[in-house]
């Protein structure tokens, strides 16, 4: 017997969570499109973002949400500085550029995880937000937890701003041109290095600030990064490589899967269920559930 | 007659004195330096072997396997389950580890080896995580309680053996396994036709296919081989540390270490994993002994990886062999500087 009230509550929680996953997925997908490298450090950006929230919150009277602007700026700078390094290892006359790109971001992930683990120890930290506790009950529908709602609103807003930049400005056009064809973009006089740095910086900023919200919703832990790396891959695989609208659907599927598994099966088995889905999608439909992406091989 | 030639001169190679000295050192190590250094030796040899097992699939075949640690855990649990749940001697558990890891790795190989690059990496990582979750919820692995293995003389072959099963025994066991892994790698990947097929597959799969190489078959062979080697070390490790828990022997950090060791040393080289394994293992040990921090080596190693990939993609071995010299680094730095073109 399925409890309808509980069911709609799970749907609400899952959808709200999906909002923040979408921002991670879109950034990750763009970083892949522009840089042609799959970033293993994505989950560690989420993790570092969450820890920055935990550290900065006391400065603002235990309000993690006010840390967001600082996180955005810091991560944009970090990303803009890291991108040339990644570009360097994936170009030039070195053997196996894709492998080297993966390895470099793997080293970066190890560095970030190790640093946080050494500085903060292995325990959980809270990202406090007294403003955002509790929930708003909507009669006949369910309760909207404030943290998750604000998270989803931020996620959607960030996404809209980002998409506006990408599709309505010259800079965004340059970035899309690079993603389309790097050589031709250079022939058109686009400064590849600069726009790649901007794209990667924007991606890092989106991911890091998503981390603050994830830290508020759940908790900050030095080992949490890997899970979000897997989530990012999950979304791209599900969406189909390079197909941005698919990412939105994939993020929602991810949020719903997570909240349904946690309630009806077990919180410990969320990852297992996700992996089963990834496996199936990769094997049955390598171009994503909508079949519109590039083949994932 | 060759009998007239001194023993030393009969060993091939220009650096034969060093080889002999190294051999003697490896043999007398646990006797000469005592239990503490024997323990360090056991760890170093095991990690060199594991790094080499990852190097087979990751370095020679070019498939970044981020779930390799799972086979270490599968080997450990195969031996543990045989000894604890069924009361078999260790050698039966060892055989079981071989069979179980070969069977499981083949089943994993069939779907996942269709993927490449990051997709293969994440699919194998997902597999490893699933194995850990599964081990935590099943009864036969001891679940969240783990397994305590017996370590008495009669658990080796079922009857009492006339030597002590302690630090020294495990040192020689690991030495034997590590040397066997090295010899196997040398023969299969550096001397045998198999190695050429694997490298052809890594460098260009389509070209390899057009030369008549059954790439699917070769991929599976390398994968199963490397997984079985990891499981062998896992089973001996389980018996050595006596207590195994899914959170220890199936931890993602085990895979990470293997990957890092092979990478730092030099991918797809025979001696790379030895250099990388020693460096990483000693860094980890020394940082925990001298700095009292068990995690400080991680950022250190992350930095090392990034610097290595940026300036010396062929790893420590590449630097030692002189493949990377000062001019290369200078050129590298200049090219890198040109890419910082922000505003």
- Mean of the per-residue pLDDT values for chain B? 85
* Interchain CB contact of B121 with A (< 8 Å): yes
* Interchain CB contact of B130 with A (< 8 Å): yes
Q: Are B153 and B165 in contact (CB under 8 A)?
A: yes
The answer to whether the Cβ–Cβ distance between A85 and B121 falls below 8 Å is no
Residues in B closer than 8 angstroms to A226, CB to CB, are: 125, 252
Q: How confident is the model at residue B51 (pLDDT cuts 50, 70, 90)?
A: very high
The answer to whether the Cβ–Cβ distance between A104 and B309 falls below 8 Å is yes
Distances (CA, A) of B315 to A252, B223, B256, B266: 42, 23, 17, 4
Q: Are A211 and A53 in contact (CB under 8 A)?
A: yes
Choose the closest CB to B121 out of A85, A102, A107: A102
Predicted complex ipTM: 0.83
End-to-end alpha carbon distance in chain A: 41
The answer to whether the Cβ–Cβ distance between A114 and B129 falls below 8 Å is no
Min distance A159 CA to chain B CA atoms (Å): 23
Residue A296 is predicted with a pLDDT of 53
Q: How confident is the model at residue B145 (pLDDT cuts 50, 70, 90)?
A: confident
Residue-wise pLDDT for B64-122, tens only, equals 898 899 999 999 999 999 999 998 999 999 999 999 999 999 988 887 887 777 778 87
The answer to whether the Cβ–Cβ distance between B298 and A111 falls below 8 Å is yes
- CA–CA separation, A238 vs A290, rounded Å? 8
Choose the closest CB to B293 out of A118, A226, A282: A118
Q: Residue A6's Cα: distance from chain center in Å? A: 28
Choose the closest CB to A104 out of B126, B259, B306: B306
Residue-wise pLDDT for B263-308, tens only, equals 888 888 898 899 999 988 888 887 777 777 778 888 888 898 888 8
| CB within 8 Å of chain A, chain B residues 60-89 | 62, 64
pTM of the shown model: 0.83
Residues in A closer than 8 angstroms to B107, CB to CB, are: none
The continuous run of DSSP H or E covering B272 comes out as helix B272-290
The chain B residue lying nearest A233, using CA atoms, is B122
Residues in B closer than 8 angstroms to A82, CB to CB, are: none
Handedness of CA B53, B59, B64, B66 (dihedral sign): positive
Whether residue B237 is predicted with pLDDT greater than 80 in this model: the reply is yes
Choose the closest CB to B302 out of A114, A197, A278: A114
Helix, strand, coil percentages in chain B from 3-state DSSP, rounded to 5: 75, 0, 25
* Interchain CB contact of B292 with A (< 8 Å): no
The answer to whether the Cβ–Cβ distance between B298 and A275 falls below 8 Å is no
Residue A289 is predicted with a pLDDT of 67
The answer to whether the Cβ–Cβ distance between B306 and A96 falls below 8 Å is no
Residue B233 is predicted with a pLDDT of 96
Residues in B closer than 8 angstroms to A113, CB to CB, are: 298, 302
The chain B residue lying nearest A196, using CA atoms, is B342
Size of interface A-B (CB pairs under 8 A): 153
Min distance B159 CA to chain A CA atoms (Å): 42
- CA–CA separation, B257 vs B50, rounded Å? 9
On the CB side of B316, CA atoms within 13 Å amount to 19
Min distance B229 CA to chain A CA atoms (Å): 23
Whether residue B20 is predicted with pLDDT greater than 70 in this model: the reply is yes
> What is the 3-state secondary structure of B15-84?
CHHHHHHHHHHHHHHHHHHHHHHHHHHHHHHHHHHHHHHHHHHHHHCCCCCCCCHHHHHHHHHHHHHHHH
Q: Which of A34, A79, A103, A174 to mutate to test the interface with B (most CBs of B within 10 A)?
A: A103
Min distance B124 CA to chain A CA atoms (Å): 10
Q: Are A28 and A159 in contact (CB under 8 A)?
A: no
Residue B11 is predicted with a pLDDT of 66
Q: How confident is the model at residue B9 (pLDDT cuts 50, 70, 90)?
A: low
Min distance B148 CA to chain A CA atoms (Å): 24
Helices (H) and strands (E) in chain A, counts: 11, 2
Q: Return per-residue pLDDT of chain A as tens, 297 residues.
A: 567 788 888 888 888 888 888 888 888 888 877 777 778 899 999 999 999 999 998 888 777 788 889 999 999 999 999 988 888 888 766 777 777 888 889 899 999 999 999 899 888 888 888 777 777 787 777 788 888 888 888 888 888 888 888 888 888 888 888 887 878 888 888 888 888 888 899 999 999 999 999 998 888 988 888 888 888 888 887 887 667 778 888 888 889 988 888 888 777 777 778 777 877 776 677 666 666 666 555
Residues in B closer than 8 angstroms to A93, CB to CB, are: none
The answer to whether the Cβ–Cβ distance between A107 and B305 falls below 8 Å is yes
On the CB side of A13, CA atoms within 13 Å amount to 18
Residues in B closer than 8 angstroms to A76, CB to CB, are: none
Q: Which of B111, B118, B259 to mutate to test the interface with A (most CBs of A within 10 A)?
A: B118
Residue-wise pLDDT for B55-66, tens only, equals 999 889 988 898
Burial letters A243-279, b for 16+ CB under 10 A, else e? bbebbbbbbbbbbbbbbbbbeeeeeebbbbbbbebbb
The answer to whether the Cβ–Cβ distance between B305 and A109 falls below 8 Å is no
* Interchain CB contact of B343 with A (< 8 Å): yes
* Interchain CB contact of B335 with A (< 8 Å): yes
The answer to whether the Cβ–Cβ distance between A271 and B125 falls below 8 Å is no
Q: How confident is the model at residue B1 (pLDDT cuts 50, 70, 90)?
A: very low
- Joined together, the tokens standing for residue B28 give 């007398």
The answer to whether the Cβ–Cβ distance between A275 and B127 falls below 8 Å is yes
Q: How many residues does chain A have?
A: 297
* Interchain CB contact of B127 with A (< 8 Å): yes
Contacts of B168-171 with C-beta under 8 Å, sequence gap 24+, read B168/B30, B168/B31, B168/B38, B170/B42, B170/B236, B170/B240, B171/B29, B171/B30, B171/B38, B171/B41, B171/B42, B171/B45
Q: Helix crossing, B117-137 with B69-84: angle to 10°?
A: 20
């Amino acid at each position: 017997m399925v409890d309808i009230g509980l069911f709609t509550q799970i749907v609400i929680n899952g959808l709200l969570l999906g909002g923040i996953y979408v921002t991670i997925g879109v950034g990750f997908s763009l970083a892949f499109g522009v840089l042609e490298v799959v970033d293993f450090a994505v989950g560690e950006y989420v993790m570092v973002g969450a820890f920055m929230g935990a550290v900065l919150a006391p400065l603002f009277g235990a309000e993690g949400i006010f840390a967001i602007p600082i996180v955005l700026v810091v991560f944009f700078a970090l990303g803009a500085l890291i991108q040339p390094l990644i570009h360097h290892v994936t170009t030039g006359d070195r053997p196996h550029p894709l492998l080297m790109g993966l390895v470099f971001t793997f080293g970066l992930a190890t560095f970030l995880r190790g640093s946080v683990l050494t500085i903060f120890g292995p325990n959980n930290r809270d990202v406090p937000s007294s403003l955002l506790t509790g929930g708003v009950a909507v009669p006949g529908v369910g309760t909207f937890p404030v943290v998750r709602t604000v998270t989803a609103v931020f996620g959607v807003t960030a996404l809209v701003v980002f998409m506006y930049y990408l599709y309505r400005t010259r800079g965004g056009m340059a970035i899309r041109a690079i993603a389309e064809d790097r050589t031709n973009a250079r022939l058109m006089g686009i400064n590849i290095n600069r726009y790649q740095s901007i794209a990667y910086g924007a991606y890092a900023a989106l991911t890091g600030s998503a981390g603050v919200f994830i830290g508020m919703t759940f908790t900050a832990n030095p080992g949490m990064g890997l899970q979000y790396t897997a989530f990012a891959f999950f979304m791209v695989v599900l969406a189909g490589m390079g197909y941005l609208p698919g990412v939105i659907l994939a993020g929602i599927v991810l949020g719903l899967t997570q909240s349904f598994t946690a309630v009806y099966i077990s919180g410990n088995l969320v990852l297992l269920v996700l992996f089963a889905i990834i496996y199936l999608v990769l094997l049955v439909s390598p171009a994503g559930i909508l079949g519109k992406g590039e083949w994932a091989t | 007659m060759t009998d007239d030639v001194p023993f030393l001169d009969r060993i091939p190679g220009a650096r034969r004195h060093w080889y002999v000295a190294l051999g003697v050192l490896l043999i007398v190590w646990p006797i000469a330096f005592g239990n503490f250094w024997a323990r360090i030796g056991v760890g170093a040899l095991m990690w060199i072997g594991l790094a080499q097992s990852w190097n087979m699939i990751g370095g020679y075949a070019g498939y970044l396997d981020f779930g390799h640690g799972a086979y270490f855990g599968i080997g450990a649990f195969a031996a543990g389950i045989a000894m604890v749940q069924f009361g078999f001697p260790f050698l039966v558990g060892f055989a079981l580890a071989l069979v179980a890891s070969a069977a499981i790795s083949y089943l994993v190989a069939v779907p996942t080896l269709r993927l490449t690059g990051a997709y293969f990496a994440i699919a194998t990582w997902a597999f490893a995580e699933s194995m850990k979750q599964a081990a935590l919820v099943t009864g036969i692995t001891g679940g969240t309680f783990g397994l305590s293995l017996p370590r008495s003389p009669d658990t080796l072959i079922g009857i009492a053996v006339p030597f002590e099963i302690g630090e020294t025994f495990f040192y020689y066991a690991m030495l034997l396994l590590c040397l066997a892994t090295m010899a196997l790698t040398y023969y299969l990947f550096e001397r045998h036709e198999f190695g050429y097929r694997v490298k052809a597959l890594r460098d260009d799969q389509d070209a390899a296919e057009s030369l008549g190489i059954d790439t699917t078959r070769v991929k599976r062979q390398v994968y199963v081989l490397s997984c079985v080697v990891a499981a062998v070390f896992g089973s001996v490790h389980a018996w050595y540390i006596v207590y195994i828990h899914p959170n220890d022997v199936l931890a993602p950090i085990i895979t990470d270490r293997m990957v890092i060791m092979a990478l730092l040393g030099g991918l797809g080289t025979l001696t790379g994993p030895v250099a990388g394994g020693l460096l990483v293992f000693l860094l980890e040990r020394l940082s925990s002994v001298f700095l009292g921090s068990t995690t400080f080596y991680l950022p250190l190693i992350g930095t090392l990886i990034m610097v290595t990939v940026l300036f010396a993609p062929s790893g420590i071995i590449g630097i030692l062999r002189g493949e990377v010299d000062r001019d290369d680094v200078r050129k590298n730095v200049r090219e890198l500087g040109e890419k910082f073109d922000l505003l």
